[in-house]
Structure 1
């Protein structure tokens, strides 16, 4: 039986749930937005419901990061396999790079979108209509027309170029540990698997 909390040998059920739910939502958000880019006119009214699915998935990713980080901080982390100091540093940096990505992409996506995110039972207002943007506009005299393009540019540049590299390195590292090192790093995060 898989423990709920992490142990020194493996990740617990909660950490695995956060990992795989976030990964699935992140990948699905990419699939949806590339469907719009490749097969639809993203300015047409027909694209809006499909883009809304992208926004919902992005919000799921973004809103799950804080509890995921808190869970990581209050839990023991499984022991790292034997590695050089450089490898340990790279692994640590890569994990925190993933967290930055999981925060930056949903944040820039939300604050750079001029449309509400409809979850069905409720809708999250667009950032332009929030009190926070009203304060930014009043305090610094920044209009939406000046605010949105650089935020949108960050979202697209990171999403189009940086995110792929970070995710690809994460997958490659997991496969390297599994195929070359055979040290159990990948299997201890697989759902339904227990080291016990």
Structure 2
């Protein structure tokens, strides 16, 4: 869904960058949760730092899930700015596909993590596979934004930095 607006509002921008920061930290501390889970399964203990970082992973995941539900709600209600008029339809499709895949992954990963944590351990394997998928999607998203901003010079990145309202 897109609209005739030229950019995103302050709340959409704030939520976007909050999710960026949360995901970046999440990717850095994820292994600690794996260590906590493995130690629990083997009846061992982990260091207090590993335990704290595992807990951080848990709570950041919940934060990402809540923020993404908010982003999805805003996207449905407010839409998104239309692509530049000179954008090739295939490029528009790719941009939309990456955005929606990011929404799906950033919602399903925390849910799968919670399901794995609270008893369905096999889901943890699926949850762990999400990291490379997420990194690829983030890379595609960032490269697309940078390409549009600096090669095509269509102001794409500016729309997620400067509020339209």
The number of residues matched between the two structures is 153
Q: Tell me the distance in 2 between the aligned counterparts of 1:75 and 1:33.
A: 33
* Structure 1 CA distance for aligned equivalents of residues 79 and 101 of structure 2: 20
- Distance in 1 (alpha carbons) for counterparts of 2:22 and 2:9: 20
Aligned pairs for 1:157-168 within 5 A: 157-159=129-131, 161-168=132-139
Structure 1 position 156 matched with structure 2 position 128? yes
Q: Indicate which of 1, 21, 25 corresponds to 1:24.
A: 21
Contact 1:58–1:106 under 8 Å retained in 2: yes
Q: CA deviation at 1:174?
A: 0.8
Give the RMSD, CA atoms, in angstroms.
Answer: 2.1
Moved over 4 A (4+): none
TM-score by length of 1: 0.71
Structure with more contact order per residue of length (Cα contacts < 8 Å, sep ≥ 6): 2
Cα distance, 1:18 vs structure 2: 1.3
Report the equivalent of 1:123.
none
The structure whose residues are more often helix, as a share, is: 2
In the superposition, the TM-score normalised over structure 2's length comes to: 0.84
Q: How does 1:1-196 map to 2 (within 5 A)?
A: 8-34=5-31, 36=32, 42=36, 43=39, 44-46=45-47, 47-81=50-84, 82-113=86-117, 127-128=118-119, 147-149=120-122, 151-159=123-131, 161-190=132-161, 193-194=162-163
- Larger Cα-atom Rg: 1
Q: Give unmatched runs, 5+ long, in structure 1.
A: 1-5, 114-126, 129-146
